[in-house]
Amino acid sequence: MASLDSQKTGPDQRFDVNLSILFTELPLLERPAAAAAAGFTAVELWWPWIETPTPPQSELDALKKALDDAGTQLVGLNFYAGQLPGPDRGALSVPGPESDRFRANIEVAADFAASVGCKALNALYGNRVDGVDPAVQDELALENLVLAARAADRIGAVLLIETLNKPESPRYPLVSAPSGIEVVDKVNAATGLGNAKFLLDLYHLSMNGEDLSQVISAYADRTGHVQIADNPGRGAPGTGSLPLEQLLDELTKAGYDGWVGLEYKPGDQPSAESFAWLPAEARAAR
């Protein structure tokens, strides 16, 4: 596997590890320490409690302690999104119990993010549902995203809107950069806060066949977070054919200086062995 040239990542480029896809061979509370042992100082998470949007306070406290003890900063957190990984792709646009769960989660997630200094909350839109008018789902989604944006603003955070990819998430409606940006614009127009941002995931966008350089040029200034994995395979950089070093360089030149989340599958090896592509000096926040 080729090694990334740390001199080309830019002085402000910062990498974090998604602990919901990497280090999953370990219990949740052991993952922050494992990431720290691999040299990382920042992590992100999907909502860890897939069965409930409102876990006991003791479980929230235990996760905060694990992050603090490891010296890792949580830089991104998903709102409740149902069974993830699994069949669900979010809850906020799904009428009935799932939307209710999302709403119950909003302040819980925001308060936890505030307790650990996390400044980015990601809201997965949710799949289309049989028998429900897409316009009804979109109206519900906007209502819930407005609530989420206001909660994020309360703690000084941004609300991230993520696009997925059609081959793997055929019922998810946001499967292009323009579709994600359209929702970002609607939320900002509805709240007047301006804190809704685009989550630019190079893997998902590549799976949709988009011109990644064009997306970066068009939307880097409206991007609040970046995630990477190689394609095909969603593995570590160097396992596929995406020119990730070039794309990261383009992001830096376009003015993006936020976090780059490692959201790839480690393959058959332990997660700690999947970082050979990234020099040790590039792993800690600079």
Look up 250 and say whether it is catalytic.
no
What secondary structure, in 3-state letters, does 176-212 show?
CHHHHHHHHHHHHHHHCCCCEEEEEEHHHHHHCCCCH
Peptide bond into 87 cis (omega under 30): no
Look up 263 and say whether it is catalytic.
yes
Contact criterion met (CB below 8 Å) for 159 and 191: no
Contact criterion met (CB below 8 Å) for 28 and 62: no
HSE of 236 in the Cβ direction (CA atoms, 13 Å)? 19
Q: How many CB atoms lie within 10 A of CB 1?
A: 13
From 25, 263, 273, 281, the catalytic residue? 263
Residue 82: left if φ>0, alpha if ψ -120 to 50, beta else—which one? left
From 44, 98, 162, 210, the catalytic residue? 162
The structure tokens 């976090």 sit at 259
Distance separating alpha carbons of residues 206 and 242, to the nearest angstrom: 8
DSSP for residue 117: T
Contact criterion met (CB below 8 Å) for 73 and 64: no
Distance separating alpha carbons of residues 251 and 228, to the nearest angstrom: 12
Q: Which tokens belong to 263?
A: 């959201």
Q: How many CB atoms lie within 10 A of CB 76?
A: 28
CA-based nearest residue to 124, from 97, 153, 84: 84
Q: Would you please indicate which residues are annotated as catalytic (active-site) residues?
A: 162, 263
